[in-house]
Structure 1
Amino acid sequence: MELETPKNSLLYRDFESHPAAVVKCGRGIYLETEDGRTILDATSGAAVACLGYDNREVQTAVARQLMDLSYCHPGFYKAKVAEDLASFLVNSTHGLMSKAILCGSGSEAVEVAVKLAKTYFTHLRSPQPERTHFIARTGAWHGATLGALTLGDFKGRKDPFVDLIPQMASRVSACSTYRGLREGESEEAYVRRLAQELDDEFQKIGPHKVCAFVAETVGGSASGCAIPVPGYFPAMKAICAKYGALLILDEVMCGMGRTGTLHAWEQESIVPDIQTIGKGLGSGYGAISAVLVNANLINSLKASGKLFAHGQTYMAHPLAAAAALRVQQIIQEENLVANVCKMGDYLGQRLKSRLSSHPFVGDIRGRGLFWAIEFVVDKHSKKPFPTSLGINGKMHTRGMKKGYEIALFNANGTYDGYAGDHFLVCPPYIVTEAEVDDIVERVSRVIKDTFAGIVEPILKGQGLSGSR
């Protein structure tokens, strides 16, 4: 029997359908499709394309590296460009982090961080092999590989694989003022409560069993840009220090300038033991991530005289390293982190001014060029829409349609891991004030028209009530 040739050979997430837009090229913060549309990429892809899509200097750097050396086995040889990138990253922390491991994806970086934390305790002069447990936070997303899924709490992505996941992590509350701060509670009291919760979790698990506390410095796609309150991370690090555990900060999404400093932890008055970075590291010009390691850990690991039992084929890949190094140099040379702060403040002000009064906009939160809009049925109760409505997906779908042409990073789960709709707005660092105005205008029309076409008829017909 002759088999029918599939129309689409590339397997997509839902098996049958596939993204509607075929992109033929990118220009600045815009993507041009084969059907003649120009889409404003208000999300930098997945918060990746921080320099936009046609930076000639980065393209040239990658082309030159391709002509010189496309690949070398990281276990056999050194690639100068990888060494240069690692030095750049270490220097960007003013030496507070002293080594960099270059990986291929954010999930991979998280896996390396977990393995490195475990290695640290087994290589101590008095080894602590029983430290195999990790404490993470509700609503977190740390990646799609099995180890990263263990730490994460994005239930729609995690639930299908729970039976495969190692049971080595537990969870405490995230720092999220919109969902977590109690009525009448001060931020100082909130921090004390969260610190006590972490302390209690150490006691519950057994302090001698906990390897590390893992957190996104600024919440990512699953939590919708949850911002830590002042004093939160110093309090969390103090609890870790009390019990001899490590602090791992996941900055794959929020780092490398996205939230207004090159490293998001620079705004939190702490230094992590281990840090993961990705996405904006290479701006999509190369598939790359990295793990940065505190000098104290490196000194301890060196003293052991033992090896780190880890290696992967595409670690320190020359092409990816060349792309990332030039990206980071351009961000520095053109002072783009300052533009992130300036345009980020403007974006936040414009979003709040335009949308705060909308009856179904519950919260608008963010830092730098990393903003989220969360939707609720009722502003007072913060009740989410039924998941069956698929509000966040409908927002994204409408945004991609002709007449709107704006990419929005949609997600769910901000309420309980399942319910709760939001999308992220995180444009490239090169965005201009005029482009921010355009983003806000298009976002406003997407929200208005989505609710008018779907939710309002349901409200009338089924009795759902929203604050008007």
Structure 2
Amino acid sequence: MDASESPSAVFHRSLHTNPIPIIGASGNYLHLSTGGKLLDATGGAAVSCLGHGNKRVKEAIISQLDVVSYVHSATFATEAAEKLARELVESTNGEMSRAYIVSSGSEAMEAALKLARQHFLESNPPQPRRTRFIARHESYHGTTLGALSVSGHKARRAPYEPMLLPNMSRVSACNAYRGMIEGETEAGYVDRLAKELDEEFRRLGPENVCAFVAEPIVGAALGCVPAVRGYFKAVRTVCDKYGALLILDEVMCGMGRTGTMHAWQSPLIDVIPDIQTIGKGLGGGYAPVAGVLISRKVTDTLFGGTGAFAHGQTYQGHPVSCRAALEVVRTINEEKLVDNVAAMGLKMEELLKQLVLPLPHVGDVRGKGLFWGIEFVKDKTTKEPFDPKENVAMDIHEKGLSGPHNITLYPGNGTVDGKVGDHILVAPAYNVTADVVELIVQKTAAVIKEYFEQSRE
């Protein structure tokens, strides 16, 4: 359809096709205008952590509208923002001291980068030369120019490369499936990656590096790849050696998604970041909200310096978004949903490895909690990826949306090097039951099996 003939006035992501109209949603299902429904196995982009239509959150939003819907945060404070920040700080057992609430993960990363820079400008003595950031290949930290600059996903960077910041560099991702050498132990792999990071610090000049940025479990860019045990402790050691900050991006993998409230609280990670970004599961899709959690070290530096963060946004600490997020966090805590994520995650892992991993062209199944990725390969022995022109992940996603499957599967590409490689994500709501987990895995297996059988005929 020609864009000029489209009945939609929305500037959709695709100007050639309109998205599927959704007329309602409840629990684990999206309701279609055609009368059918889709099993929402991904919560959008791992967002709808409480499912759809949660009564508690809806009532909380309405109650906030009766109090105040907006004030400017430079002058005014609200109870909703104060209580949300307190809840978030307490969820870290006091390891983080303040919360800065914004509207999206990209905004959170922009704020985190600026905050890291300001920390060194106001440290005693000041360290103004620290302007460099080190991140990882095949990473994704947001779509705005600063966040995209630190990201390593080549395909997403490509159109804007001439506009991106030059003070970012990258080291290898911790991706055991793709990165470990045959016969290499996890400890050996960690040592090799730590050495690579150390060498990058020395190449740039340690006095020039502001922070190392990484996702504890890489989401959309790599398909739920967790770090191997010991990796982040080694990374923390390198950062501390050279006096740089550690920024952990938990926009997609945090807020209970992987079986602990914060991914860094898992024994697999077991380090405390200096700055942490959160999003998606923070508001559960009920309001646009994200945030930055800030360690006492960084807070104390600014407190002893200018006493202010040289950054601000119109919708910072938006009362309705804060109230929605507060109710989401309270619901997660009161209903012990993080425990359910851990338990249902083990069941999902077992079923995925039993029903999906043995399928032809499934190279790897990986993840944690209710955050799982499935990587597709042309050859399971060599791990050769499909040609991007085959559009494997997107076609599997579209097949899932059709009958008889009627399931959402979140597609991704660039899995191998930012350009080639295909995967899908499965990330259901935290209150999912064992029966629904089984249904999701069965449907996922059926979609994959049917796709490759038909595409190879």
TM range (shorter): over 0.9
Match of residue 33 from structure 2 = 34
- Distance in 2 separating the partners of 1:22 and 1:262: 33
2:73 is matched with 74
**Displacement after TM superposition at 1:6 (Å):** 4.2
1:200 aligns with 2:199: yes
Alignment-derived partner of residue 366 in structure 2: 365
Q: Distance in 2 between matches of 1:205 and 1:18?
A: 46
Secondary structure of the structure 1 residue equivalent to 2:374: strand
- Structure 1 partner of 2:291: 290
What amino acid sits opposite 1:370 in the alignment?
F
After TM superposition, give the deviation of residue 307 of structure 1 in Å.
Answer: 2.4
Structure 2 partner of 1:7 = 7
Matched, 1:411 2:399: no
Q: In the aligned structure 1, how far is the partner of 2:52 from the partner of 2:226?
A: 28
Q: Is the 8 A contact 1:82 1:321 kept in 2?
A: yes
Instruction: State the one-letter code of the partner of 1:37.
Output: G
Matching residue of 2:226: 227
Please state if 1:211 is matched with 2:210: yes
User: What does residue 45 of structure 2 align with?
Assistant: 46
Supply the distance in 2 between the matched residues of 1:442 and 1:373 (Cα, whole angstroms): 14
The corresponding residue for 1:182 is 181
The answer to whether the 8 Å contact 1:213/1:245 transfers is: yes
Q: Secondary structure at the match of 2:66?
A: helix
For residue 141 of structure 1, what is the aligned residue in structure 2?
Answer: 140
- 1:233-244 equivalences in 2 (<5 Å): 233-244=232-243
Deviations 1:139-158 (CA, angstroms, capped at 9, x unpaired): 10100000010111222221
Could you list the per-position Cα deviations for residues 380-413 of structure 1 after superposition, in whole angstroms to 9, with x for gaps in the alignment? Answer: 1100011110000100111111211100010011
Q: Deviations over 1:203-232 (max 9, x none)?
A: 111111100000001111101111111111
CA distance in structure 1 between the aligned counterparts of 2:137 and 2:345, rounded to whole angstroms: 26
SS at match of 2:165: coil
8 A Cα contact 1:118 1:131, kept in partner: yes
- Aligned residue identity for 2:419: Y
Q: Percent identity?
A: 48
Residues of 1 paired with 2:16 and 2:35: CA distance? 24
Q: Are 1:56 and 2:43 an aligned pair?
A: no
| Structure 1 stretches of at least 4 aligned residues deviating more than 2 Å after TM superposition | 3-6
Q: Which residue type is aligned with residue 12 of structure 1? A: H
Map of 1:398 onto structure 2: 399
For the Cα contact (< 8 Å) 1:202–1:210, is it kept in 2?
yes
**How much does 1:120 deviate?**
0.2
Aligned residues: 453
DSSP-derived class of the 1:99 partner: strand
Q: Is the 8 A contact 1:37 1:402 kept in 2?
A: no
Question: Hey, what's the Cα distance between the residues in 2 that align with 1:269 and 1:284?
Answer: 28
Separation in 1 of the partners of 2:357 and 2:75? 56
How far did 1:444 drift? 1.1
Structure 1 counterpart of 2:376, which letter?
F
Q: Structure 2: 5+ residue runs without aligned partners?
A: none
Residue aligned with 1:299, SS:
helix
Aligned to 1:349: 350
1:5–1:375 CA distance, 2 compared to 1 (3 A): closer
Letter in 2 for 1:359: P
What is the deviation of 1:306? Answer: 4.1
Local SS of the residue matching 1:407: coil
Farther-moved stretch of structure 1 (146-155 vs 81-90): 146-155
Q: Residue type matched to 1:439 in 2?
A: I
**Residue type at the aligned position of 1:338:** D
| Letter in structure 1 aligned against 2:231 | Y
Distance in 2 of aligned mates of 1:277 and 1:404: 32
Is 1:16 paired with 2:22?
no
Matches within 5 A, 1:105-144: 105-144=104-143
**Partners of 2:388 and 2:195 in 1: CA distance:** 33
Q: Take 2:209 and 2:18, find their aligned partners in 1: how far apart are those partners? A: 42
> SS where residue 271 of structure 2 aligns?
coil
- The residue that corresponds to 2:251 in the other structure is 252
Cα 1:111–1:359 change in 2 (3 A) is same
In structure 1, stretches of 5+ residues that fail to align are 458-468
Answer whether contact 1:227 1:365 (CA < 8 A) is retained.
yes
**Per-residue displacement from partner, 1:313-359 (whole Å, max 9, x unpaired)?**
00000000000000000100000000000101101100110122212
Quote how far apart the aligned CAs of 1:168 are: 1.4
The CA distance in 2 between the partners of 1:189 and 1:5, in whole Å, is 58
Q: How far, CA to CA, are the matches of 2:356 and 2:261 in structure 1?
A: 29
Letter in 1 for 2:18: H
SS of 2:214's equivalent in the other structure is: strand
Q: Following the alignment from structure 1 to structure 2, what is the Cα–Cα distance between the partners of residues 441 and 234?
A: 37
Query: Could you say which residue in structure 1 is the equivalent of 2:271?
Result: 270
AA of the residue aligned to 2:339: A
Does the 8 Å contact 1:123/1:306 carry over to 2? no
1:303-452 to 2 correspondence within 5 Å?
Answer: 303-452=304-453
Which amino acid in structure 2 is aligned with residue 17 of structure 1?
A: T
Aligned equivalents of 1:419, 1:117: Cα separation in 2: 33
Q: Distance in 2 between matches of 1:164 and 1:300?
A: 31
Farther off after superposition, 304-313 or 105-114: 304-313
3-state SS of paired residue (1:304):
coil
